[in-house]
Chain A
Amino acid sequence: MATEASTLTPQQIVRKRKTGEPLLPGEPEQAHRHTIAVLVENTIGALIRVVNLFSARGFNLESVTVGETDDPTVSRMTIVTTGNDRIIGQVLRQLERLIDTLHVEDLTGSSFVERELCLLKVRYTAESRAAIMDTVEIFRGKVVDITPDTMTFELTGPTSKIEAFIKLMKPHGILEVARSSRVAMRRASGSWLTHEDPSLNLPAAR
């Protein structure tokens, strides 16, 4: 119906601003990357429900990690997704709606630390060894295994650093790469697990 911004009513413009949808057809969507931390019941079923939510509702799922927390009944997931404001709002509310989720927090927008672990195996020769070690040094990587012709490194850092490292190793002949995907945590003191949200200080799950 409305093909030009001038034919939109003020109310339609307000709505499009709120959802992050383009005002004109053909304009690019305002999609943003969001990192979301989720505390879930530490069961395989809980993990599956979260992942199924993304596939069933067609939400973008860029990366997902899961690991036990200091409470063995609780796992923490770090989810990276993209979408406009309407979609991200939906992702957060749908995650909260799951009975297995204990807490959902959108880290994007606040200050947070994001890290990824990478294991990388590369072939080396007497000639290339020094150059490879120099690069590893600069990236503050660690050698975790060595054979007469291969070396395996461990590297942590933000995704951009991992990707830069992989790019530099490529000419040497990468044999294998294993990446953990991102884990993230909000900066500043306090923990929403035990301090800020008293509703979570509850008897453990059955």
Chain B
Amino acid sequence: MRDVRDLAWTIKAAYYIARTGRPGPVVVDLPKDILLAKAPFSYPEEVHLRGYRLPGPPDAALIREAAAMIAASRRPLLYVGGGTITANAAELLTQLARRARIPLTTTLHGLGAFPEDDPLALGMLGMHGTWYANQAVQHADLIIAVGARFDDRVTGKLDSWAPYAKIIHIDIDPSCISKNVPADCAIVGDVREVLAELLPLVEPKDTKEWLAKIETWRAECPLIYEQGDGKLRAQYVIERLRAKTGGHAVVVSDVGQHQMWTAQYFRFLHPRSHITSGGLGTMGFALPASIGAAFGLRGRKDVPIICISGDGGFVMNAQELGVAAAHRLPIKVAVINNNFLGMVRQWQELFHENRFSHTDLSDTNPDFVKLAEAYHCVGLRASRPEEVDAVLEEAWKVTDRPVVIDFQVVKEELVFPMVPAGASTSEMITKRLTPNAFV
């Protein structure tokens, strides 16, 4: 901004760009002199930006081609990204998958686009996705990418990703098409419009054999973790949160191990019920984002806001408890506390010969219960599995302020399965590499 007379137009243009096409943030740089200057206010009805092109209606011929590819495929797989949720196309997607009996895997941001209690759902794919979803990718003969961008956390080593699959890529952003994996059929357009046109062209398919194969993979390497040894683990906490809410909650996760466990074990049902910073990887995101979610859902007392954070990420913005308390937001904050930067610790253990430098937080972490109380919130604690349900019960009774629950979990737990960075999706680690392996 250089001239206050342009301010109204610029703000209008910023909102226009932020909300249309592939939505996203816009930075408006407002210097102090503009903030203090005066000008007549005239807010334009609409703005025209001659270099800003929104995609037109999707190409009908390409949609017919995609329908033919789906009809011809024997091992199809839907790979669903956050664009599906942004386009409000989750319902159409669900219809498509169920109508054609196509199994479905989602990215981190795609979670919630399809109910995970459906047998067609394979959970997340990629680095910390399920083994069976990644196996399906590696054996599919057709991948239908919907509102997704083939991020490196999804594909691992590009050369060996989905070696037998033709690719249909549906996305609103032309610069995403064929960026990482070349598409055989690229449809640029709003996912909702494309799916609405595609759906009537897709006939029910017989995918029994393919689904049966996937079930054998699911049985071979399910998502499991050690239980029954009296130790508290993050996965159990997340499963109990899921049981407590039945999946009817908005879950905001931070960055790290707990984020991956949330993605794996919460089994999301609804679009926009999972909020996370994704590829930005911004630790400290969860608490302020939960405050935003709580404001957005004020008046919806039936939808709990659950903030799941690691101890490392939580302290990065813990002062926001003050804001949440001041506005009496009943956020449930689950601090998955292993007194470590757990994901960094995991890489140090697996790839850097156990050199745990600067990840042990046991001497620096605050007492989270006292911290919560200092900020006028309720502080609770659980350190054994049998305490979890009682502490959740207690937390759910509080409706006029945030509750912080310090879940003291074991520090040795690693997120599995895992595709090491830069490795092929076929080279997934499904067993723990250390002597106390259990899987």
Answer whether A18 and B173 are a contact pair too, CB < 8 Å, given A102-B50, A202-B50. no
**Across-interface contacts of A12 in B (CB, < 8 A):** 159, 163
How far, in Å, is A32 (CB) from chain B's closest CB? Answer: 17
**Across-interface contacts of B174 in A (CB, < 8 A):** 93, 96-97
User: Does A2 sit at the interface, judged by CB under 8 A?
Assistant: yes
Q: How far is the CA of A99 from the CA of B26 in the complex (A)?
A: 12
- Which among A18, A90, A93, A102 has the greatest number of chain B C-beta atoms within 10 A? A93
Instruction: Determine whether the beta carbon of B182 is less than 8 Å from that of A18.
Output: yes
Q: How many residues of B contact A (CB 8 A)?
A: 28
How far, in Å, is B268 (CB) from chain A's closest CB? Answer: 30
User: Does B157 sit at the interface, judged by CB under 8 A?
Assistant: yes
Q: How far is the CA of A188 from the CA of B9 in the complex (A)?
A: 40
**Across-interface contacts of B6 in A (CB, < 8 A):** 206
User: Does B181 sit at the interface, judged by CB under 8 A?
Assistant: yes
Q: Which of chain A's residues has its CB closest to B179's CB? A: A90
Q: Which of chain B's residues has its CB closest to A21's CB? A: B159
Q: How far is the CA of A203 from the CA of B49 in the complex (A)?
A: 10
User: Does A205 sit at the interface, judged by CB under 8 A?
Assistant: yes
Q: How far is the CA of A2 from the CA of B159 in the complex (A)?
A: 8
Which residues of chain A from 115 to 136 have a CB within 8 Å of any chain B CB?
none
Q: Which of chain B's residues has its CB closest to A206's CB? A: B9
How far, in Å, is A50 (CB) from chain B's closest CB? Answer: 11
Chain A contact-residue range equals 20 to 34
**Across-interface contacts of A41 in B (CB, < 8 A):** 51
Answer whether A15 and B177 are a contact pair too, CB < 8 Å, given A2-B159, A99-B52, A206-B9. no
What 0/1 readout, one digit per residue, does chain B (164-196) give for beta carbons within 8 Å of chain A?
Answer: 111000000111011101101000000000000
**Across-interface contacts of A101 in B (CB, < 8 A):** 51
**Across-interface contacts of B426 in A (CB, < 8 A):** 1
What 0/1 readout, one digit per residue, does chain A (70-96) give for beta carbons within 8 Å of chain B?
Answer: 000000000000000010011001101
User: Does A113 sit at the interface, judged by CB under 8 A?
Assistant: no
**Across-interface contacts of A9 in B (CB, < 8 A):** 163-164
Instruction: Determine whether the beta carbon of A205 is less than 8 Å from that of B182.
Output: no
Of A1, A2, A19, which is within 8 A of B182 by CB?
A19
Instruction: Determine whether the beta carbon of A15 is less than 8 Å from that of B51.
Output: no
What 0/1 readout, one digit per residue, does chain A (164-206) give for beta carbons within 8 Å of chain B?
Answer: 0000000000000000000000000000000000011011011
Of B162, B166, B175, B424, which is within 8 A of A93 by CB?
B175
User: Does A100 sit at the interface, judged by CB under 8 A?
Assistant: yes
Which residues of chain B from 388 to 439 have a CB within 8 Å of any chain A CB?
424, 426
Of A11, A90, A98, A99, which is within 8 A of B165 by CB?
A11
Of B17, B53, B182, B424, which is within 8 A of A15 by CB?
B182
**Across-interface contacts of A18 in B (CB, < 8 A):** 178, 182
**Across-interface contacts of A40 in B (CB, < 8 A):** 51
**Across-interface contacts of A89 in B (CB, < 8 A):** 178
Q: Which of chain B's residues has its CB closest to A100's CB? A: B51
What 0/1 readout, one digit per residue, does chain A (5-23) give for beta carbons within 8 Å of chain B?
Answer: 0001101101100110000
Which residues of chain B from 237 to 278 have a CB within 8 Å of any chain A CB?
none
Answer whether A1 and B51 are a contact pair too, CB < 8 Å, given A96-B174, A97-B174, A97-B175. no
Answer whether A200 and B182 are a contact pair too, CB < 8 Å, given A94-B175, A96-B174. no
Q: How far is the CA of A18 from the CA of B6 in the complex (A)?
A: 45
Answer whether A200 and B50 are a contact pair too, CB < 8 Å, given A9-B163, A12-B163, A206-B6. yes
How far, in Å, is A70 (CB) from chain B's closest CB? Answer: 16
Answer whether A102 and B51 are a contact pair too, CB < 8 Å, given A9-B163, A11-B163. yes
Instruction: Determine whether the beta carbon of B159 is less than 8 Å from that of A1.
Output: yes
Closest 6 pairs (CB-CB, A-B) = A1-B160, A93-B175, A18-B182, A9-B163, A202-B50, A99-B52
Residues of B at under 8 Å CB distance from A? 6, 9, 17, 48-53, 157, 159-160, 162-166, 173-175, 177-179, 181-182, 184, 424, 426
Other 17 A-B pairs with CB < 8 A, given A15-B182, A97-B173: A1-B426, A2-B159, A8-B163, A9-B163, A9-B164, A15-B181, A18-B178, A89-B178, A93-B174, A96-B53, A98-B51, A99-B51, A99-B52, A101-B51, A199-B50, A199-B53, A202-B50
